Amino acid sequence: MSLPTPVNRRTLLTILGSSIATPLLAPRIAVSQEAWPARTVRYVNGFPAGGATDTLSRILCQKMSELSGQSFVVENRAGAGGVLGADTVAKAAPDGYTVGLGGIASNVLAIGSYAKLPYDPRGDFTFIGGMWQLPNILSARKDLFSSDLKELLAAFRKEPRKYTYASAGFGTTLHLSGEMMNSMAGVEVTHIPYKGAGPALTDLLGGRVDLLFDNLPGSLPSVRAGQIKPVAVTARARIAELPDVPTFAEVLPGYEITSWTAMIGPANMKADLVAQINALTVRALADPALKARYSDLGATPWPASPAEIKAFRDAEEGRLLPVMQAAGIKPG
């Protein structure tokens, strides 16, 4: 069979070239426009199952699953005040399929608590967006002579080191809440650190310690049941769940500390990927049902941009590390 004329041959080659080129270009377009998430996302929580951060994380991940159609699996990597979990995120691939819980514990207070960290709290992460802010609460054992903050501080000044406050551990926001009280009020209440909030609350209920600084969700059921007496919350403003409980700032102007959290990923995540994750997080936090569940736990949804979270983290480091140093909390 003879070949076509030169003109037809060129025409045939052009057609064949087009038919070959088109399939080669299509996958490149699909990859560049692939939406996140296309598969299951691992969310690493550096705190134990059943605690406040775990409950709030699971509520958020469930909503993000509903909105995206993909599973968000919570993995608890508890240890060293959130450090173990944060380190897991820092060492993951920056592809958006491993994210996790960062914030005041792992990205600020850890700097003042540990001489050597397995990651750089400032530079080894992509700060994707905010998740929630959670106030702490100071409660007293049921038979303590008073639950009025002014009266308690006056008694603490008269008898230094007589009274005790428990916390979930050394170097936590709860410990720092107590040290801020000591410093700003000029009192000396002895810190009793526990390995977790549960044992600390148990000893408050049993009268073995006088006071407890706790995340609000941990103590709220006992407060509502009248088993312990609320004294003050650490947020800037009173909270809707306990409107009659004052803030520390009402007695100690300038006092404020919250357990804030940020969604973090490994360093070097692409900007368009970060934008997609942030957008989904913001949508989830705006959901009325999520807001209601967070409110029941005393938490406030905290949508924020990556730039806002990074700036907030930097400001918290500048504000809180001097407080830690003044309280004698040293890297160890």
Residues 192 and 91 in one domain: no
Residues 129 and 143 in one domain: no
Q: Which residues contact 15 (CB under 8 A, 6 or more apart)?
A: none
Instruction: Establish if 159 belongs to a structural domain.
Output: yes
Residues 108 and 245 in one domain: no
Residues 197 and 215 in one domain: yes
Sign of the dihedral through C-alpha 137, 186, 256, 314: negative
The DSSP code sequence of 40-56 is: -EEEEESS-TTSHHHHH
Strand partners, 79: none
Residue 329 to residue 323: CA distance in whole angstroms: 9
Which alpha helices (H) appear in the chain, and where do they start and end?
6-32, 52-68, 83-90, 104, 110-113, 149-158, 173-185, 197-205, 216-224, 271-285, 288-296, 306-326
**Residues written for the chain:** 332
Residue 261 to residue 265: CA distance in whole angstroms: 13
Instruction: Establish if 15 belongs to a structural domain.
Output: no
For 125, the enclosing helix (H) or strand (E) is strand 125-141
Instruction: Establish if 32 belongs to a structural domain.
Output: no
Number of domains, the chain? 2
191 three-state secondary structure: strand
144 three-state secondary structure: coil
CATH number (domain holding residue 210)? 3.40.190.10
Residues 115 and 51 in one domain: yes
Nearest CA among 131, 81, 130 for reference residue 106? 81
Q: For every one of its 332 residues, what pLDDT tens digit does the chain have, with 9 covering 90 and above?
A: 443 444 444 443 343 344 434 444 444 333 344 799 999 999 999 988 888 889 999 999 999 999 999 999 999 998 888 999 999 999 999 999 999 999 999 999 999 999 999 999 999 999 999 999 999 999 999 999 999 999 999 999 999 999 999 998 888 899 999 999 999 999 999 999 998 888 999 999 999 999 999 999 889 999 999 999 999 999 999 998 899 999 999 999 999 999 999 999 999 999 999 999 999 999 999 999 999 999 988 899 999 999 999 999 999 999 999 989 888 888 87
Residue 201 to residue 11: CA distance in whole angstroms: 83
Instruction: Establish if 31 belongs to a structural domain.
Output: no
Residues 76 and 209 in one domain: no
The parent domain of residue 245 ranges over: 135-250
Neighbouring C-beta atoms of residue 268, cutoff 10 Å: 9
Nearest CA among 117, 109, 120, 140 for reference residue 266? 120
Instruction: Establish if 207 belongs to a structural domain.
Output: yes
Instruction: Establish if 234 belongs to a structural domain.
Output: yes
Residues 236 and 90 in one domain: no
Residues 166 and 241 in one domain: yes
Instruction: Establish if 5 belongs to a structural domain.
Output: no
Q: What is the structure's pLDDT at 79?
A: 84
CATH number (domain holding residue 84)? 3.40.190.150
Residues 157 and 212 in one domain: yes
- Phi and psi at 127, nearest 5°, equal -90, 105
pTM of the model: 0.82
Quote the DSSP letter at residue 105.
I
Residue 304 to residue 316: CA distance in whole angstroms: 15
Residue pair 132/298 in contact (Cβ under 8 Å)? The answer is no
| The last residue of a domain, from among 205, 223, 250 | 250
| The last residue of a domain, from among 250, 277, 311 | 250
Q: What is the structure's pLDDT at 61?
A: 98
| The last residue of a domain, from among 223, 250, 277 | 250
Residues 99 and 240 in one domain: no
User: Per the structure block, which two tokens stand in for 3?
Assistant: 């070949």
Residues 165 and 178 in one domain: yes
Residue 70 to residue 241: CA distance in whole angstroms: 33
Residues 151 and 111 in one domain: no
Nearest CA among 127, 47, 70 for reference residue 284? 70
Residue pair 261/130 in contact (Cβ under 8 Å)? The answer is yes
Instruction: Establish if 266 belongs to a structural domain.
Output: yes
